[in-house]
Structure 1
Amino acid sequence: MTHLAELNVGRLVAPTDDPRVAEFMANLDRINGLGKRMPGFVWMMEGSGAPGTGNTEVKIGGDPQFVSNLTVWQDLASLDAFVHRTLHARFMGRRREWFEMITELHFVMWPVAEGHRPTLDEALSRLDLRRRDGDTAQAFGWDWARANLA
């Protein structure tokens, strides 16, 4: 059986201790906790576990404002329910308040073997694959997933 991994990256408009991203940072544990309690949730890459930091300590390219979210889910329906039908959706709708506009693809999903916990490097290589080749069975977005996995 395979599971579904996802990576979402973004660059905060300010450092994590700046008042401009304070509301986002203050709700990380709440939203992450909600995700972890969702049916179908399998695993999440986490930082130190310090309250209110989520995974923001894990830097991309050494940039302290470039943050990532890497999770594994049992299936597309489980991930979709969390992303689009919970409080997460309201925060996602406000992402422009806290994140810079990224002009290149910043989200990718891919199948992983049950029990596999992808590394950030592995996830970033999947994102690069999607940026280079578009949606394929090895790296894809929501439209491809809904057409091929649902």
Structure 2
Amino acid sequence: MPGDHLAQLNVGRLVAETHDPRVAEFMAALDRVNGLGKRMPGFVWMMEGSGEPGKGNTETKLDGDPRYVANLTVWESVEALEAFVWNTAHRQFYARRAEWFELMPERHFVMWRVPAGHRPTLDEGLERLAHLRAHGDSDHAFGWEFAREARLWRTRACAVAAE
């Protein structure tokens, strides 16, 4: 709807704790990739961690698990998010996610519309993800395939493990 923005939550469980050499390359790229996202046209907001270099938002532990991390952002549109995800260096890291993240047995990515100016909480995003898992795509919570405006994911997306 006009005036609305797009929120997205992506969760994952790292194969090791953030200081472990097995995830060192991923951790070392966080500031660069997040910084790139923040400079993209259409970027609005990102849930931040401590601001400590090389940590991104990995300090936000889900369910008290030091390896279960989240990324929560707001964009002006689906197209703006898509441009970042599929047309920047982010895509290269996304393609290698199996090196750093466990395969999730259920959906780990959700989008939903928010009023311009709204900053969703992590709990809000987790509720949307739970709704998507329980009920499938709807206006309340959806994935790429439900977003009519989404085009790039159809041709640029990397191999799908579990969305």
Q: Same fold (TM over 0.5)?
A: yes
Amino acid at match of 2:48: E
Deviations 1:67-119 (A, max 9, x none): 01000000010000000110000000000000000010000000001000000
CA distance in 1, matches of 2:137, 2:150: 13
**Which residue is equivalent to 1:87?**
89
CA distance in 1, matches of 2:5, 2:43: 10
- Shift >3 Å, 4+ stretches: none
Summarize the Cα distance change of 1:80–1:149 in structure 2 as closer, same or farther, 3 Å threshold.
closer
**Which residue is equivalent to 1:28?**
30
Gaps of at least 5 residues in structure 2 are 152-163
- Sequence identity (%): 65
Summarize the Cα distance change of 1:83–1:149 in structure 2 as closer, same or farther, 3 Å threshold.
closer
Secondary structure of 1:78's counterpart equals: helix
Q: TM-score of the superposition, structure 2-length normalised?
A: 0.90
CA distance in 2, matches of 1:6, 1:82: 13
Q: In the comparison of the two structures, how many residue pairs are matched?
A: 149
Gaps of at least 5 residues in structure 1 are none
Secondary structure of 2:36's counterpart equals: helix
CA distance in 1, matches of 2:100, 2:123: 24
Summarize the Cα distance change of 1:23–1:148 in structure 2 as closer, same or farther, 3 Å threshold.
closer
Give 1:135 shift: 0.1
Q: TM-score of the superposition, structure 1-length normalised?
A: 0.97
**Which residue is equivalent to 1:128?**
130
Amino acid at match of 1:70: L
CA distance in 2, matches of 1:32, 1:68: 13
**Which residue is equivalent to 2:104?**
102
**Which residue is equivalent to 2:80?**
78
Give 1:149 shift: 6.9
Residue 11 (structure 1) aligned with residue 10 (structure 2): no
